[in-house]
Structure 1
């Protein structure tokens, strides 16, 4: 009991880092031969293309690969390549990337105004290089409500799945969670499937059998090399518009800077169907629209940005699915597992899990890059200025003295469907490299909070189930586990460390992100159903910023699908236009 008594706080401190930790397992061992990929320093001062795509992330890569089949495409990515980076190549080096807070890190940390620590992708492939790998499609009702063509949706999912989706191996921890979900009444057992079905299922993964991650960047293997130009470390500062003599603003180019700060301009070739497409993510897309003069007039004026179009809904409708978890120390060693099993409940909460002592302290001899390591842990109760190299070194040395048993275990989490609660995004500076200010308003709506409570109650049933008994200590009661987690500095919010607190308070105190934030350029508010920006011409936004709700239990499959789906639709429109003109 003594070891666990002194380590409870360590378990809790690590809880938030556990999830960020999963987000640094990208990059294959061998980089593909992308002849079209160059550093932006090689970009000419001025160039011309049929399509210019801003953002080589989850949507941008499949979109660029598709459009390159019948047009000239420029893809601009602010980060670097996911391939060949030793810090993020495979599972054995996990944790190194998330501890890297340099300007070129593939993960850019930000903290929402709610006080929740978060991250955004800054690498080719975007969030698919930084997530836990879970691959699952959107529900059929979701597809119908959005108004997508069901046949093309399925074809687009399949197109991506041929390169990036796999069936995961099921080992002891994940099997216990699956069986515990069934004991808890999350029925039926749907087995392995990509489909979004009520009950318990094993989903897909973007990790292959060798443990190598496959990302949206891999979808560029479909590209026509002669039709695509890709520049890395290309930071887009604004979209350029023609205004004079036009009934409404027309996008016709972008300005971007390379890693040296040199300025480049890329323009659209003359053509009625040529467009600029922003795929910079839920933070980057509304941010770039505002920096380009499309947004709330008063807000842009306050930042001395010339107004192109007063669009007060840019940056509105921001949502982040709240995630709450319970950490469970294990009396026996457990395998390293990412998210593989999900319980899809009727009350609107999704139950998932991950495990592995290697995720805790890293190497037992170094305790250097594990999730409990001070190099990786968020330690949000320690002001950043106090996180000196000396302080981190001392903390790592202190951790080496702890028993290995203190680092065994895993967690079970619940994520809220939707959610209903909404927030907003604003500029902080005119520098596109700086994070905007974002507020998500977690649990502002009572229904979201109730879903969290029901999710935690389901987690309690799993922990108490016969199927899961091997992985819990008999002396650790559920109130003890909850209090251990609630005592952790997983975010910057005040907390109430008391075993008698309500589950409502537990949800509020321990809320974290699961990195499924969306909104800011939503359909019907900022873009139309074809993702064209309302009020201007030759400009679309295609990414998760257009979602009113997060699709499925993990959005990455649907965001990749959307890139392919819209690429096919846009090429179809282009072909029709060419036939008519001839």
Structure 2
């Protein structure tokens, strides 16, 4: 509980510092529900039905019920609705009229908002690292940094997907919501420095995941407006698609009278706290599909009675199926960052440039902008949830008192500390894994999640290598020409950062032990967690849940690794891919898709 209090305290500071940015956006005129098939959950009643269900199973019955309107759930729902009735249930609200979601300049505010109706839900892993899970239609695409890049061909081969259908599904997404970024000056400086330190060749602008340095796509357009997976719903069939927001699924309902449990419906709560039941039509190939993400999906399985028997019984959950692997194999890609001060304020940019090495060390760039008033400095990097853990306090020691001291120390930072950019270093395919466990039976509460950052020595070895590479980039001609800061100015920031208890740059770049400690003390997340429902252990290669009928999982909880340098492209593609595959498997040539 103490750590939760620390998180709230920290995020309150973030919101306070972010007030100028939020006010500067002005009033917005976007409709909450731009599509006729989208409604609040309280509109659902026993007489609710899509036009195709009344003749095939009675009122309030659907061919597909999708739990989670996120990165995979939205394209999946749009695709399946071409031929069948679909009910998409999303626990959060709509993103369209939310300025904190819609604009690049407010990226950090959406992540820092801890109100019950915010687009993101903060959670703290048992490792002590502050993290976030989406609570909004569009899922992670509504709160992330927007970078768009495909998975490698080796990833596609490893998961056994049809390469032809994959290469048809990516463009379906890209044509609707993906853009080419206008490269910011800081991104150019880091791009040129990456090439100087040998992260080559330069692959230019590309969606492909290839070794070397590249510029990727973005879901922010040239006006800084975010385009999320929720917009992919526009491709759905409005006669067969129903989308309910503020619909929090409590559990899956099973018929256990046969040889195997059979999913028949779900129970969900609306925004007023009223409960509803939605059912599948009585057909063998109708399905409930979980697309609630790496945290929400294993949590929902366990709340519904599928998981480790002993753990379920401790919480008095009726066991539908004993599966010890649910919630196991959780992983998160650890990230560390180095702040690079500049003489002048820099243009805000999220991820545009990335360096991809063969050892699985990825280097990315982010920059912010500074504003000041009589009493406040604002900087995207310093105050955001993305970089806000650059404390020398190890994660498990971040008590409310430690956070208070950390906040007080930040007030002493020099003005230069609010100008600059970040070099981000991420470890791909971490060998360190953890698990997810239920704390209670309240679906609104976060489960207990452990990632075990750097438990495996190879992850720590790669982090040290990545930090050394980042340090080399900081000292490169392209970056120093850009920052225009003399040695004295940099030393001033470094000296003050010691008293302010902030790690801007490692103190001893040639000392491996020191760098290992830097990695451990400053580890943060880049929100690419995955696992918990692995193929072969929880689901089949077709993503059907093993041991039960009419239940499937389509999201990143099935992944053993996070695809590409950012998973959102592949998770959106996965929603489209699985939708097409399900239709073709069910209808053959008659699918027409």
The reply to whether TM is greater than 0.5 is: yes
1:514 match: 526
1:215 match: 228
The structure 2 residue matched to 1:339, chosen from 351, 355, 359, is: 351
The structure 1 residue matched to 2:307, chosen from 295, 305, 322, is: 295
Counterpart of 2:171 in 1: which secondary structure? Answer: helix
Distance 2:177 2:152 in 1: 20
Distance 2:589 2:174 in 1: 31
Q: Which residues in structure 2 correspond to 1:442-481 (within 5 Å)?
A: 442-472=453-483, 473-475=485-487
2:452 match: 441
Distance 1:159 1:354 in 2: 28
Distance 1:537 1:259 in 2: 30
Q: Any stretches of 5+ residues in structure 1 without a counterpart?
A: 1-12, 491-495
2:181 match: 168
Greater CA deviation, 148-157 or 502-511?
A: 502-511
Q: If the length of structure 1 is used for normalisation, what is the TM-score?
A: 0.87
Q: Is contact 1:96-1:369 (8 Å) kept?
A: no
Q: If the length of structure 2 is used for normalisation, what is the TM-score?
A: 0.85
Distance 1:456 1:375 in 2: 21
Change (3 A) 1:123 1:281: same
1:40 match: 41
Post-superposition offset of 1:419: 1.2
Mapped pair 1:329 → 2:341: yes
Post-superposition offset of 1:170: 1.3
Distance 1:481 1:403 in 2: 10
2:206 match: 193
1:4 match: none
1:405 match: 416
* RMSD of aligned residue pairs (Cα, Å): 3.3
Post-superposition offset of 1:149: 0.5
Post-superposition offset of 1:385: 9.0
Post-superposition offset of 1:477: 6.9
The structure 2 residue matched to 1:106, chosen from 113, 119, 125, is: 119
1:558 match: 570
Change (3 A) 1:485 1:329: farther
Mapped pair 1:118 → 2:119: no
Post-superposition offset of 1:405: 3.2
Distance 1:482 1:524 in 2: 52
The structure 2 residue matched to 1:181, chosen from 189, 194, 214, is: 194
Mapped pair 1:53 → 2:53: no
Post-superposition offset of 1:99: 3.7
Counterpart of 2:579 in 1: which secondary structure? Answer: helix
1:416 match: 427
Distance 1:569 1:450 in 2: 40
Counterpart of 2:435 in 1: which secondary structure? Answer: strand
Change (3 A) 1:413 1:86: closer
Post-superposition offset of 1:486: 12
2:437 match: 426
Mapped pair 1:242 → 2:255: yes
Distance 1:513 1:211 in 2: 24
1:89 match: 102
How many residues were matched structurally?
Answer: 549
Distance 1:73 1:40 in 2: 15
Change (3 A) 1:254 1:123: same
1:10 match: none
Mapped pair 1:535 → 2:547: yes
Q: Deviations over 1:421-474 (max 9, x none)?
A: 110000011010100000001111111111111111111111111111124434
1:154 match: 167
